Amino acid sequence: MDTAIAFKNVRYCFGNVCALNGVSFSVPKNSLTILAGPNGGGKSTLIRLIAGLLTPDEGVINGSGMAAYVPQNLNFDISFPVTVKELVLMGMLSRKIRPFYRFSAGQRAAAEDAMRRAGLSDIADRGIGQLSGGQRGRALIARALVSKADIMALDEPDASLDTDAARSLYSMLAELKSEKTIIMASHHIGGVLGIADNVIYVNGTTSVYYSPDEFKEKRGGGIA
């Protein structure tokens, strides 16, 4: 088994509030892992550690590659002057700002391909402030798709979606598994278990279940 991400006894505190302690797990490449658990349990903190935005106070995180991060509650300003196509293209830029950069024909083709796969071709020129929640989630995933990242860390991308939009997001993620390792925090356990390989229950520390069935068996119905 090729490991994509491994945590060894990781601890992370915000001042004297320790969000996570004693966190150890590993997930294989090209698997889809759901982070479940109560509000304040530490899911967003775990995602941000994976994305490299936070550094552990203790312990070690080993990753096989870069992670693309899709944050929680990302509300674009209505007037934010960026189109879907531009948002996706920007996923290819490195973090360094390069003035007068021009995207190559190959990069533009890759962006078109990612938008097609995300069902966004018809709205490529729409401003991101005008998108529905489902379209916004898919635009961010298309952006992550064109990046070189092997890992996608998604923080509740289904939070404000209706059932149909959530279902189309899940089927898109299930398809992406063949090329990316996906870690996704979600409150809609019932909906996501069908596409999950692993479930990590996060509540200050982590309990890891290496199949949805094991999770259901051991945690029973007391999960939301």
Only one of the segments 3-11, 32-40, 76-84, 134-142 lies at the binding site for ligand ADP (rule: CB under 6 A); that segment is: 32-40
**Closest to Mg ion by CB, 46 or 145:** 46
Of 3 and 72, the one with the shorter C-beta distance to Mg ion is 72
Residue 67 Cβ vs ligand ADP, minimum distance, rounded to whole Å: 16
| Binding partner of 127, given ligand ADP, Mg ion, none, CB within 5-8 angstroms per partner class | none
Instruction: Tell me how far CA of residue 63 lies from CA of 25, 51, 67, 80, 93, in angstroms.
Output: 12, 10, 9, 33, 21
Which residue, among 108, 90, 89, 10, has the nearest Cα to 50 in the 3D structure?
10
Residue 39 interface partner, choices ligand ADP, Mg ion, none, CB cut-off 5-8 Å depending on type: ligand ADP
* Structural contact between residues 201 and 38, judged by C-beta atoms closer than 8 angstroms: no
Cα(66)–Cα(90) distance, integer angstroms: 16
Binding residue (CB under 6 A) for ligand ADP from 1, 2, 17, 164? 17
Distance, CA of 200 to CA of 215 (rounded, Å): 9
84 contact partners, CB below 8 Å, separation of at least 6:
115, 120, 123, 124, 125, 126, 128, 131, 135, 139, 142
The residue range among 12-20, 63-71, 94-102, 125-133 that interacts with ligand ADP, by the rule CB under 6 A, is: 12-20
List the one residue from 16, 39, 55, 94 that touches ligand ADP (CB under 6 A). Answer: 39
> 168 exposed, middle or buried (CB, 10 Å; 0-12, 13-18, 19+)?
middle
Structure tokens belonging to residue 208: 């890891």
Report CA-CA distances (Å) from 9 to 6, 20, 211.
10, 10, 22
Strand partners, 110: none
Cβ at position 140, least distance to Mg ion in Å: 16
Is 190 among the residues that bind ligand ADP (CB under 6 A)? no
Q: Is 73 in the site for ligand ADP (CB under 6 A)?
A: no
108 vs 187 by CB, closer to Mg ion: 187
Q: Which stretch binds ligand ADP (CB under 6 A): 42-50, 90-98, 137-145, 164-172?
A: 42-50
Interaction of residue 42 with ligand ADP, rule CB under 6 A: yes
Report the site for ligand ADP in 116-175 (rule: CB under 6 A).
Answer: none
Nearest to 72 by CA among 150, 186, 166: 186
Binding region for ligand ADP (CB under 6 A): 14, 17, 19, 37, 39-45, 202
